[in-house]
Amino acid sequence: MQQTLEPLITSAWLAAWDRGDLDALDGLVTPSYTRTSKATGATVDLAGLKSEIAAVREAFPDLRTTVDDVVEGTGTVAVFWTSTGTHTHEYLGVPATGLTVQTRGSNILILNDGKIVKETVTWDGSELLAGLGIRPLRGIAAPVVPVGGEGAGEFAELDPSLMKAFNRQFITGVTVVTTKEGDTPKGLAANSYCSVSLEPPLVLVCVQKTSSTYPALFSSSHLGINILGTEQLNTVKTFASKAPDKFAELQWHDGPKGSPLLDGSAASLEAEIQERFQAKTHTVFICRVRHAEISETAPMVYKAGHFFDGAELAEL
């Protein structure tokens, strides 16, 4: 079997993944074939596998796979492989980054009369994104399940109105997150900013995936975060709008790595993007601060849909 099955598996595998000849897999599997991801537990049939391969190849059209080893057991075959590709199209909701990634995995094949009945793979699509510094936040899409004890079982989904009411009680500053798409400055208003640590100097910002600035942020190595001052209310309105050129009437300057920093801000920084965590409708960017500018301007304050003068706060 080793002499006949190994070349067949390798040939069909490379034909499907590297050249997009998905029908090359037909002769390898039984009609009841299933493929299960060890990482996610998701199971698909042959049609599902073909769809997965097509999606990966669309996102990484120069994908190249090396079959590192094929090891035969009793009624099983283990395939160890390495794949490399450039992320040039959207994949799993992530815009193209233009970066090249390498990922590895192994598949355990269960055989019947020389054909694959069941396949278990140690890799799933998030492995490619992890190689790009993009990681899913585990448990975001699923309800929390307590482990044993009183009340064990799935919690009911929280009423969205309660979450909105909770958020309205939280007071924040107002930031504009900026980057460039080529030579074009891009930006959006955001209040989901916080400092993560001082040593090293890390900050966090959440960006909604529907934002027009979102694709540019994914392909950038750096971003700017501007804490707006009390004289920049019109700036907030501009960045919260659908204006095609939000920088047209603004004064700004480049940070050391080219991120647009807004003149008149209470403070501005430029940071290197180090992690991108997927959180369903948003992406959490973890960034290391490389440059900062501070002014004497009082910051703008935001609460429950209204803006306030940060210089007029009464101390408790």
Q: Which pLDDT does position 133 carry in this prediction?
A: 67
Q: What is the pLDDT of residue 4?
A: 55
Q: Is the pLDDT of residue 187 over 50?
A: yes
pLDDT at 143: 36
More confident residue, 138 or 130: 130
- 33 or 152: whose pLDDT is higher? 33
Across 80-84, 140-144, 150-154, 288-292, the highest mean pLDDT is recorded for 288-292
Mean pLDDT of 143-166: 62
Mean pLDDT of 269-278: 90
Instruction: Find the mean pLDDT for residues 306-316.
Output: 88
Higher pLDDT pick, 81 / 280: 81
**Each residue of 33-92: pLDDT tens digit?**
999 988 778 899 999 999 999 999 999 999 999 888 888 878 888 888 889 999 898 887
Q: What is the CATH number of domain 162-311?
A: 2.30.110.10
The dotted CATH code for 2-136 is 3.10.450.50
Q: What is the pLDDT of residues 234-258, one digit of tens each?
A: 999 899 888 889 999 899 999 999 9
What mean pLDDT is reported for the chain?
A: 86
Sorted by where each begins, the domain ranges of the chain are 2-136, 162-311
pLDDT at 191 > cutoff 90: no
Q: Rounded mean pLDDT of 286-290?
A: 96
pLDDT at 96 over 90: no
- pLDDT over threshold 60, residue 142: no
* 3-class SS letters over the chain: CHHHHHHHHHHHHHHHHHHCCHHHHHHHEEEEEEEEECCCCCEECHHHHHHHHHHHHHHCCCCEEEEEEEEECCCEEEEEEEEEEECCCCECCECCCCCEEEEEEEEEEEEECCEEEEEEECCCCHHHHHHCCEEECCCCCCCCCCCCCCCCCCCCCCCHHHHHHHHHCCCEECEEEEEEECCEEEEEEECCEEEEECCCCEEEEEEECCCCCHHHHHCCCEEEEEECECCCHHHHHHHCCCCCCCCCCCCEEECCCCCEEECCCCEEEEEEEEEEEEECCEEEEEEEEEEEEECCCCEEEEECCEEEEHHHCCCC
Whether the pLDDT of residue 16 is over 70: the answer is yes
The reported pLDDT for the residue numbered 314 is 84
The pLDDT score that the predictor gives to residue 19 is 93
Q: What is the mean pLDDT of residues 253-277?
A: 95
Give the per-residue pLDDT at 140: 45
pTM: 0.66
